[in-house]
Each structure stands twice: as C-alpha cells, then as structure tokens.
Amino acid sequence: MASNSNNNRSASAALAAAALGLALTGAAAVRADRSEPDGPPSAPPSPARLQQLVPGVTVGTPEQTPVDGVFRVRVGDSYVYLSGDGRHAFTGDLLDLATGQNLTETRRNGDRLAALSEFPDDHLLILPAKGEEKARIRVFTDSSCPYCQKLHREVPALREAGVTVAYIPFPRGGPRGPGYRELRSVWCADDPAAAFDIAAGTADGELPDAGADCTDAKSVDAGYELGNAVGVRGTPTIVLPSGAALPGYVDAPRLLQRLQLEGAAAEGAAVAPAPAPTNPEVKP
C-alpha cells in the first residue's frame, strides 16, 4: 500500500506542475537569467533552469522536435518546450500543419502506453472479449463513480464485439476517497469480476469488506499511482490501444466507432474526428 508521504508527494508534484503552467502561460517567454546560451542550437539544452521553477517535480531530458532549435521536455505528466539555448520555455501543443498531426499528443500517447505496458497484469481486473479479441482497452475506474457504473453497463456489449476491458483501480480521492475501501474489497474478493458487478450495481449481493490485511489491496494503490503518473484527472478514463485517453463516459457504439477509426488509421486510412467523451468524475 502506498504511504501517505507518497500521496503527499503526488499532490505536491501536481501543485508544482500547475504552478509551472501558470508561470509559462501564453506566448510570453520565461527568462531564467541573462547568461550566455548553454551550447549551440543543435545541442540539447540543459533543463537546470527549468528544474529551478519546479523543485520536487521530475524534469526529463530535452529531446529534439522536428522544429530546429525547439526541444521537448517532460515535466511531471506534462510537456514543456525549450529553446535551443535553454533560456526560453513555452507550453502548449506542437502541431504539424502540413499533416494535421498533434505531435505533443502523439508523444503523450506513446509515453502513456509505455507506462501502461509495464503495469503488471495481476493488478488488473481483466474482462476478456467473447471469442477473438479484436481490441483491448484499459479503463481507470472507481466503482463508486456513477459514470464508471454507467460505463460498466456497456461492457457486455463491448465484450460481445471482441473488446477486452482491463480495469485499473483509481480511487478518485486516493486513500481518503469514497471508492478506496470499496475497490480494495473488489480486488481482494474471491471473484473480483462478480464483486465489481455488485459494487457497480449491475448485480445483487453484498460486497465483502476487504479489511486491512488483504494482500491484493496493493493493486488499488498501484493503480492510483499509475494514474497520477500518466495524467489521469478523473474517472472513467479510457485508454485506447494507441495510448490515446478518453477522459469520460463513452457508450459502446461510439467507443467501437473510435476503435474502428484507430484501426483504419493504423492501416493508413483517413480518420474522422472522434466522438467526445462526457462527464468524467474528477478527483478532488
């Protein structure tokens, strides 16, 4: 189980990232000092000045973007762009106007997918597709969240269509949230899938209380930490095979449409705008 100090560090990191966003809002450049550039424009700049603005938050290594002299840096679960001399920074999404591709979102999706691929299967509640698996989605969920319950009622249709649903526990308020103990009970039950049905209101029965000594309860804390690391802000958050995240409830027909569009995109076909999700339950 994650300690309170871990949760405090997560909260501090989120606040620091928010402070960074305010510090770098708009097109105005941030000048850390008036020293000489760190090196030639083609060399990755030092992120040391950026790190000074966000103590306690992990700042990644600058990476060259397709734009000469502009480097992308991961800061917590967000992205910042640095000039080649490391003196100026700005936030926002980098777009390729020739292709219409959001380069920031593409990188964000890749990083999210990499983090999820390292998350052990024994922390997941996997509801397998009926017959051949055509797609797999991961869903950050809280069984006490009304829109998670609504999405859970769509799962049978998704499974019949060949979609595997892998639930990741994400109590919206952490250990103090309304769903924390309930999720522990689900993950510690002899039959977690049946327990989730009870918790989500799709089946009758009484949910057993996990108590404080359930070994599998660590999955709930691990899921919460993972969600914070990949920028989850509310439940449900649906992660598609590409790593794209849909922050909110999406019904089965629209979700299947989006999955079909992703498949078409992988084969090089044009992709229409995806339907927007609605009503995520945002964590406090």
- From CA 82, how far away is CA 110, in angstroms rounded? 20
Once rounded to an integer, what is the mean pLDDT over residues 30-35? 32
Q: The pTM is what?
A: 0.75
Q: What is the pLDDT of residue 86?
A: 83
53 and 157 fall within a common domain: no
* Residue 109, token pair as written in the block: 């999706």
- Percent of the chain with pLDDT strictly greater than 90: 52
Q: Which residue has the higher pLDDT, 207 or 22?
A: 207
The answer to whether 218 and 3 are in contact (CB under 8 A) is no
Indicate left, alpha or beta for 280 from its phi (over 0: left) and psi (-120 to 50: alpha).
Answer: beta
Q: Is pLDDT of 31 > 50? A: no
Query: Is the same domain home to 169 and 248?
Result: yes
CATH number at residue 275: 3.40.30.10
> Is there a domain that residue 98 lies in?
no
Assigned domain for 108 exists: no
Q: Give yes or no: residues 85 and 150 share one domain.
A: no
Q: Given this model, what pLDDT does residue 34 score?
A: 30
Q: Which of 92, 123, 151 is the last residue of a domain?
A: 92
What's the rounded Cα separation, in Å, for the pair 91 and 101? 17
Ranking 42-46, 69-73, 218-222, 226-230 by mean pLDDT, the lowest is: 42-46
Q: Is residue 262 part of a domain?
A: yes
Instruction: Calculate what percentage of the chain has a pLDDT beyond 70.
Output: 76
The reply to whether 48 and 174 lie within a common domain is no
pLDDT (0 to 100) of residue 283: 58
Are residues 267 and 189 part of one domain? yes
Residue 237 in domain: yes
Give residue 47's identity as a one-letter amino acid code: P
DSSP for 161-192, please give it. Answer: TTEEEEEEE--TTGGGSTTHHHHHHHHHSSSH
pLDDT value at position 264? 59
Give CA–CA dist 257/158, Å, rounded.
11
User: pLDDT averaged over the chain?
Assistant: 81
What number is the average pLDDT over the span 110-125?
Answer: 95
Does 17 score more than 60 pLDDT?
A: no
Residue 110 domain flag: no
My answer on whether 59 and 128 are in the same domain is no
**Chain Cα centroid distance, residue 94:** 19
Domain-located, residue 105: no
pLDDT (mean) for 145-152: 96
| Mean pLDDT, range 200-224, rounded to an integer | 84
Residue 133 lies in a domain: yes
Do 211 and 82 fall into the same domain? no
- Residue 52 pLDDT level (bands cut at 50, 70, 90): confident
Q: How many residues does the chain have?
A: 284
Using CA atoms, how far residue 241 sits from 134, 207, 231, 273, 278, in Å, is: 11, 32, 17, 17, 20
**Above 70 in pLDDT, residue 268?**
no
| pLDDT for residue 265 | 58
Residues 59 and 142 in one domain: no
Q: Binning pLDDT at 50, 70 and 90, where does residue 125 land?
A: very high
Provide the number of structural domains found in the chain. Answer: 2
The answer to whether position 97 is within a domain reads no
Same domain (yes/no): 137, 228: yes
Q: Are residues 51 and 150 in the same domain?
A: no
Question: Of 45, 77, 92, which marks where a domain is finished?
Answer: 92
Residues 137 and 81 in one domain: no
Could you tell me if 83 and 192 lie in one domain? no
What is the predicted pLDDT for the residue at 278?
Answer: 65
**159-203 tens-digit pLDDT:** 999 999 999 999 998 988 889 999 999 999 999 999 999 999 999
Q: Does pLDDT of 281 surpass 90?
A: no
Q: Where are the alpha helices (DSSP H) in the chain?
A: 4-23, 48-53, 103-117, 146-152, 155-160, 180-188, 192-200, 218-229, 252-266
Residue of higher predicted confidence among 162 and 33: 162
Domain that holds residue 177: 115-282
